Amino acid sequence: MNKKITHVFFNRKMLLCIYTGFCSGLPLFFIIQLIPVWLKGGNIDIDTIGLFTLIQIPYLCKFLWSPLLDKLSPFSLGYRKGWLFLTQLGLLIIMPMYGFLTPQDNIKIVVALSLLTAFISATQDIAIDSYRREILSDNELGSGNSIHINMYRIAGFVPGGLSLVLADYLSWMEVFVFTAAFFIPILLITIRLKEPSHISVIHSDKSILKQSINEFIHRQSLRNTLFIIAFISFYKLGDSLATSLTSPFYLDMNFEKRHIGTVAKNAVVWPSLLGAFLSGFIISKYGLNRSLWISGFVQMFSILGFAFLSYQGPFLTITYTQLITLAAVISFESIGVGMGTAALVIFISKKTSPLFTTTQFALLTSFSAIPRTLINSTSGVLTSHLGWTNFFWLCFILAFPGMLLLLKVAPWNSQS
């Protein structure tokens, strides 16, 4: 049994999933966790910071240019390796540029720069998702994607934890340079990657996007396709909205940046890893369908921990007890996030065809991001009008539609 576990989790493919997870998570958490703290410290109001989530729009639309990644090979390195190298080089160059700006004086430039960062990051995600799907067999999707999600969350510890701690001691320019520097070893790994083999039935004289959509509908049926899209769109809506303004929320509760960088981010990373591993274990033991149900309930009820914390705060002084409460609340929510994210990614992976990996994966992940990004853009306005406690109760209610859709796409007693 030990040899079997070692073979499943400690092999070259799983090591590559560690690489893909870290590559994908670093720029996203840079945008959604580090930049909001920088903006709030620059006296940008909470409504504007909430609207700032709209800079994630490139993640919604990435399917529009995903076919290009099957047609062009940058630097002649390969369809996957070439795009990984190009996008990672772009992120290494662009992330330190924030250090030359001040939020209040250059907010339009900040928005434009962030949209460009998100575009490059989304393009990297297209290549990463395709690469991971092509190197993993169907039997390896569970363990591979769980490891990917784990490293995705660990990567968030850099911009959302370590960089925040350094922000109390270094200039923002130094913080941005430090964060971007993590792409240097990533680039060195990318150069040594082996391009995966591609299975393709793509007709060059026809639209790749149209071919991939037609294949998916033909395989699933139009009715099931619509249910799958609806489920992917709503499954993580509630917990995504709840975590969209976590850093400003902690600051409003009077926690300091060093608290966010140490207690809060540690309470996010390690429990979310546990959640991803729990999801993988549940899938292996009970199947994907039951994992989606269990993970969904955990991520839904964990939102109420934030409602409890907001009801207790804001705090006049931060005591050891309050730090423990903060860690407990975030840990529970992070376990739910880890479980739900891992289960959903595996669900999406299993629904894609190896014949159209790039476009179908980009399409499905875009559908998962569209409602989250649009409603997250109203999070600042919602918290201003509802207050933090009522806001988190709303997030809890918004988790119900995704759970109800499980009755159709993943019935409890159906094997998957």
Instruction: Please give the radius of gyration of the chain, using alpha carbons only, rounded to the nearest integer.
Output: 21
Q: pLDDT: is 62 or 257 the higher one?
A: 62
Are the C-beta atoms of residues 90 and 183 closer than 8 Å to each other?
A: no
pLDDT, position 3: 47
Whether 1 shows a pLDDT value over 50: the answer reads: no
Distance CA 303, CA 293 (A): 16
Classify each residue of 74-90 as buried b or exposed e, where b means 16 or more C-beta atoms within 10 Å of its C-beta.
beebbbbbbbbbbbbbb
Whether 251 shows a pLDDT value over 60: the answer reads: yes
Task: Work out the mean pLDDT of the chain and round it to a whole number.
Answer: 83
% of the chain residues with pLDDT over 70: 92
Region 173-200 average pLDDT: 88
Are the C-beta atoms of residues 164 and 368 closer than 8 Å to each other?
A: no
Whether 46 shows a pLDDT value over 80: the answer reads: no
pTM above 0.85, yes or no: no
Q: Who contacts 212 (Cβ-Cβ below 8 Å, separation ≥6)?
A: 353, 356, 359, 360, 363
Distance CA 30, CA 379 (A): 19
Minimum mean pLDDT range among 23-37, 271-285, 293-307? 271-285
Domains of the chain in sequence order: 2-409 (1.20.1250.20)
Whether 416 shows a pLDDT value over 70: the answer reads: no
Copy the structure tokens of residue 378: 């109203």
Smallest Cα–Cα separation from 302: which of 396, 401, 373? Answer: 396
pLDDT, position 415: 63
Cα angle 138, 408, 150 (rounded to 5 degrees) comes to 40
Distance CA 379, CA 372 (A): 10
